[in-house]
Amino acid sequence: MTSAQVDTSEKASGASEAPEEGYERGLGSRQVQMIAIGGAIGVGLFLGAGANIAKAGPSLILMYAVAGAIVFFIMRALGELLLYRPVSGSFAEYSREFLGPFFGYFTGWTYWLMWVVTGMAELTAAAIYVHYWFPSIPQWVTALVFLVVLFGVNLISVKVFGELEFWFSMVKVTALIGMIVIGLGVLTFGFSSAGDTASVANLYQFDGFFPKGIGSSLMTLQGVMFAYLAVELVGVTAGESENPEKTLPKAINTLPWRIALFYVGALTVILCVVKWTEFAPGVSPFVAAFAKIGIPAGAGIVNFVVLTAALSSCNSGMYSTGRMLRTLAESGEAPAVFRRLSASRTPAIGVTVSVLFMGIGVVLNYVVPEKAFGYVTSVATAAGIWTWLMILISHVLYRRAVDAGRLPASSFPAPGGAVCSYIAIAFLLFVTGLIAYDADSRVCLYVMAGWAAVLGVGWLVLKNRNPEITERREQPSPAKVS
């Protein structure tokens, strides 16, 4: 086959050959779209927003809006890279291509860590939600049951994962829209026990829009960024999407309205219906708001929805960790056993090992149930910031290569070229500075320093065993076969 024929066949299929060849392309447009939507609605909004409202009051709405704009910049940068070369390894592959093998290795393992600790956070949140109905059941027992059930789902096939995630996301989306509509009804018509006090004035009349100062509001950005973790999951689905050239741009371009509706819109309505001083850390503001409204079983229904959100995110974590371990194994940066696919073409061994590490979250729920959520979310945020920085830096370097004529232009270019990526990089570095400033969250940077040391040792071992693995290699891309 000539190089021209290779190029033609790749364009026809909508994807270049990926190192993860062997996966089942079992995720249809409907599932990828809902995975993308569900990725923007997680425990960071449903549970974490309670603590952030207590810290920042109504100004939290602005923090979500600003951070949401940055996340969109990140996703458009990722989208341009994905349509240049759609692979399941995604950002680890791009880091390897544009920054070198070490960065691909570091990013792949750090993204794996991010999802492992996020899975711990989601299991913790799920246990807290079940505690709402069954206070006598220990948190660790509930967390363990959910861990085992979702593990079984992820071993069956990508289609089962996609279908479960579709319905998880459908529940979240439908419920959030319902909450917004009911909240607007309370504001407009004044029904329910919250009707007498519900008012737009609640956004500013209790010590103003920034009741605890701008500094306190900015300190919530680390928690806000945690809420947006998982939006990049759509990039991991690239290697298993039926038609990535069509589904991925659509999923990414719908991100602004998802953020505007589900984060900014929902929080605005909630804070208008119930004044911010009535929310407390550790309690979902949505559950608290519906309890205040007094709708029969309303708080219980919302609790079920937020439980669904937590399980959805944990389900996604199991999916992505297994794929990332296989990407690392394909590059010789993880044990070769992770390359194996099961009969249903899922990376079962990688998923199994990841789930065992997520089990540490069950232990944390047994030892320190009241602090488990805070510990793991801070580590997940630090790991997520690294991943996003690698996406942005890879995008900047890719654009330079395109401008120099070394690589072909993507069919889904980011607006403004690399300018928005530079803005996003500066913002993420600012958030990292806030994390370092905050004594409570600073511990995650110590954890990441330890993690970097472990990976550094691992890299030296790899280099000694097989020096070729640590050398920059030519990546399969349309540029090499056109």
Confidence class for position 481, pLDDT limits 50, 70, 90: very low
Contact 32, 165 (CB under 8 A): no
Q: What is the pLDDT of residue 14?
A: 38
Among 138-142, 184-188, 237-241, the minimum mean pLDDT is found in: 237-241
Counting residues of the chain whose pLDDT is more than 90, the rounded percentage is 23
What is residue 476's three-state secondary structure? coil
Give the chain's mean pLDDT: 80
Contact 35, 27 (CB under 8 A): yes
Rounded mean pLDDT, 95-124: 87
Q: What is the pLDDT of residue 392?
A: 96
290 compared with 65, residue with greater pLDDT: 65
- Outline where 134-220 has alpha helix (H): 139-156, 158-189, 213-218
Q: What is the number of other CB atoms lying within 10 angstroms of the CB of residue 27?
A: 27
Confidence class for position 235, pLDDT limits 50, 70, 90: low
- Rounded CA gap, 350 and 336, in Å? 11
DSSP-assigned letter for residue 241: B
Rounded mean pLDDT, 442-464: 90
Q: What is the pTM of this model?
A: 0.83
pLDDT tens-digit profile of 180-215?
898 898 888 877 777 677 888 889 888 899 999 999
Residue 376 half-sphere exposure, CB side, CA atoms within 13 Å? Answer: 31
Confidence class for position 297, pLDDT limits 50, 70, 90: confident
Rounded mean pLDDT, 422-446: 90
Instruction: Answer whether residue 482 shows pLDDT above 50.
Output: no
CB neighbours of 444 closer than 8 A, spacing ≥ 6?
378, 379, 381, 382, 435
Instruction: Answer whether residue 433 shows pLDDT above 60.
Output: yes
Instruction: Answer whether residue 448 shows pLDDT above 60.
Output: yes
Q: What is the pLDDT of residue 25?
A: 54
DSSP secondary structure string, 28-59? -HHHHHHHHHHHTSSHHHHTHHHHHHHHHGGG
Tell me how far CA of residue 237 lies from CA of 111, 115, 231, 293, in angstroms.
14, 15, 11, 39
**Is residue 156 packed enough to be buried (19+ CB in 10 Å), middle (13-18) or exposed (0-12)?**
middle
pLDDT tens-digit profile of 151-167?
887 777 667 777 777 88
Residue 419's identity, in one-letter code, is V
Among 39-43, 67-71, 294-298, the minimum mean pLDDT is found in: 39-43
